[in-house]
Chains A and B, each alone.
Chain A
Amino acid sequence: MIKLENVTKNYKSADSAALRNANIDIGKGEFVFLVGPSGSGKSTFIRLLNKEENPSEGRIFVAGKDIGQLNSWKVPYLRRNIGCIFQDFKLLEKKTVAENVAFALEVIGRPKSVITKQVPAILELVGLADKVDSFPNQLSGGEQQRVSIARAFVNRPLILLADEPTGNLDPATSVGIMRLLDRINRTGTTVVMATHDRGIVDTMRRRVIELDQGTIVRDQAQGVYE
């Protein structure tokens, strides 16, 4: 599903590479944790997969396609197959829960009939069926992250990228979010999650890729944080 071949990413402003000669193969339906200290290259890894950044060297394949060869006008179509979740949720404050989720379908031109069917279904899945008309500032952090997951998953993407999704949440809420991501993973969606949360990684025992100063230092099946 995801393949990195000798991928290096240099930023002009930085002295050393954010990612150095990375070679990774992630299969369909895998759940992968990216771990490592701040500045180790986890977010760069995620941004490269979503083509928010382009590699300085090497090639990245997503669903068998070399995304480096994609024309800029095709990038949105790549992103329709990739859901993204962030630490800061990135919800639109002036839209309700339902509108935030519907927005993801609306802006890719899905018909209204599809939107009215899929939005309640996904909100049911994330456990927010009773919050459809609430605004983000009326929700707890965990609920906001659930909205963010609903928005990322409503279009049934092949891949879900999560950059520190539990970073702003307390441990109990984080467990709920991880259960949800695990449930989504079980539908066949590949999940790549960057995290600092030792407890989650150690509990879930999934594949762990560890980065240190841009270099992959460990790739371990059913791994732990360190």
Chain B
Amino acid sequence: MALKVSYMLRETGINLARRLTLTIAAILTISISLGLFGSSLLARDSVANATSRWEGGIEFVVWMNPTVDADQDAAIRRVLDESAAIESWTFVNQEEAYQEFLELFDESPELRDSVVPEDLPPSFRVVPTTKDADVVEEIGSQFETLPGVRDVVFAGEVIRSIQEQANKISNFLLWVSIALLIASALLILNTIVVAISARRQEIEVMKLVGASNWFIRLPFMLEGLIHGLVGAGIAVGLMYSLKRFVIDGFTKSQGLRLLEGLKVTNDELIYRGLWVLGIGIAVGILGSAFAVSTKLDV
């Protein structure tokens, strides 16, 4: 068994080294495509984080005083329920607001430690029946004077515009990366086909002397897997750099207030990184498996 493992690794290493330029081309294509794919996911995450309060068509938020009493709360709910201009609304209590706060500031422990749920205002997040900015403002402003209300904040056109533009950009990146991923899989497939062709005589001898089918196939599959894995590893490095040097820079930026909310948490980076690694492995295995099943007659 030890011999088999060392044989597999040695043969895979020889395969990779013999066609170094093809190997590098395959790995670079995968890393660029997966890097773009991962970046588009991170871009979505960061915009979602910056505008999380405004997802699902929410056009304005009614912030209550933390000390709001039950009667004041019930009065707001009654107005919300009775208004024909309001499609739906959700209530975010202090505990939920605190959880949201923790998620947003998970990398700022000093800030997290200084806030308790009671400090945070509960809020009503409202989805009106119309998106017309003037009408929304008119509906929202009626809450400003109600008792217990601290403030009413509107999504505004800027937020909507950021969401729309960010979605367009990330969708574009997603499609470009999918096209590149297909190119990567084809490149892996062709690299393995070249490897099989270069070792045709060796494979013929292996078959003649009774090497098992998987023994013949595995070094080629392993080669594809390594292409995918190394390419994905580089892509994860690119994603980390994007977060560390670009997105985190927005968060700290003093001048670019609009971009301040753009952030990606470490958990999101790890989660998206695992996605990218999984896809890299899948592309590598699928590309090589297709080559092996169609070109390797065992």
A84 at interface, CB cutoff 8 A: yes
Task: Let me know if A90 and B204 touch, CB within 8 A.
Answer: yes
> Which residues does chain A contribute within 8 Å of B4, judged by CB atoms?
109
Interface-facing stretch out of A28-36, A73-81, A181-189? A73-81
> Which residues does chain A contribute within 8 Å of B142, judged by CB atoms?
none
A72 at interface, CB cutoff 8 A: yes
A89-111 near B? 1/0 per residue, CB < 8 Å: 01010000000000110111111
> Which residues does chain A contribute within 8 Å of B213, judged by CB atoms?
72-73, 76
Task: Let me know if B3 and A104 touch, CB within 8 A.
Answer: no
CB proximity of A80 to chain B, nearest CB, Å: 4
B208 at interface, CB cutoff 8 A: yes
> Which residues does chain B contribute within 8 Å of A155, judged by CB atoms?
209-210
A144 at interface, CB cutoff 8 A: no
Q: Which of A72, A104, A111 contacts B209 (CB 8 A)?
A: A104
A179 at interface, CB cutoff 8 A: no
CB proximity of B7 to chain A, nearest CB, Å: 6
Task: Let me know if A103 and B205 touch, CB within 8 A.
Answer: yes
A50 at interface, CB cutoff 8 A: yes
A151 at interface, CB cutoff 8 A: yes
Number of residues from B at the complex interface, CB < 8 A: 18
In the complex, the chain B residue whose C-beta lies closest to that of A73 is B213
Number of residues from A at the complex interface, CB < 8 A: 25
A198 at interface, CB cutoff 8 A: no
B201 at interface, CB cutoff 8 A: yes
Known: A90-B205, A92-B205. A109 touches B210 (CB 8 A): no
Task: Let me know if B208 and A109 touch, CB within 8 A.
Answer: no
Q: Is the interface of B mostly helix, strand, loop or mixed?
A: helix
A59-87 near B? 1/0 per residue, CB < 8 Å: 00000000000001100111111101000
> Which residues does chain A contribute within 8 Å of B201, judged by CB atoms?
90, 92
Task: Let me know if B205 and A112 touch, CB within 8 A.
Answer: no
B206 at interface, CB cutoff 8 A: yes
B146 at interface, CB cutoff 8 A: no
> Which residues does chain B contribute within 8 Å of A106, judged by CB atoms?
3, 7
Q: Which of B1, B202, B204, B210 contacts A108 (CB 8 A)?
A: B210
> Which residues does chain B contribute within 8 Å of A81, judged by CB atoms?
210
Q: Which of B3, B207, B208 contacts A111 (CB 8 A)?
A: B3
CB proximity of A151 to chain B, nearest CB, Å: 7
Task: Let me know if B209 and A107 touch, CB within 8 A.
Answer: yes
> How far apart sit A169 and B71, CA to CA, in the bound complex (Å)?
108
Task: Let me know if A92 and B3 touch, CB within 8 A.
Answer: no
B215 at interface, CB cutoff 8 A: yes
In the complex, chain A residues 145-161 whose Cβ is within 8 Å of any chain B Cβ: 151-152, 155
Task: Let me know if B208 and A90 touch, CB within 8 A.
Answer: yes
A-B pairs, top 3 by smallest CB distance, nearest first, are A80-B210, A79-B210, A107-B211
Interface residue ranges, A against B (CB under 8 Å) = 50, 72-73, 76-82, 84, 90, 92, 103-104, 106-112, 151-152, 155
Listed by A's residue number, 10 A-B pairs whose Cβ atoms lie within 8 Å are A84-B208, A92-B205, A103-B206, A103-B209, A104-B205, A106-B3, A107-B216, A108-B209, A110-B3, A152-B209
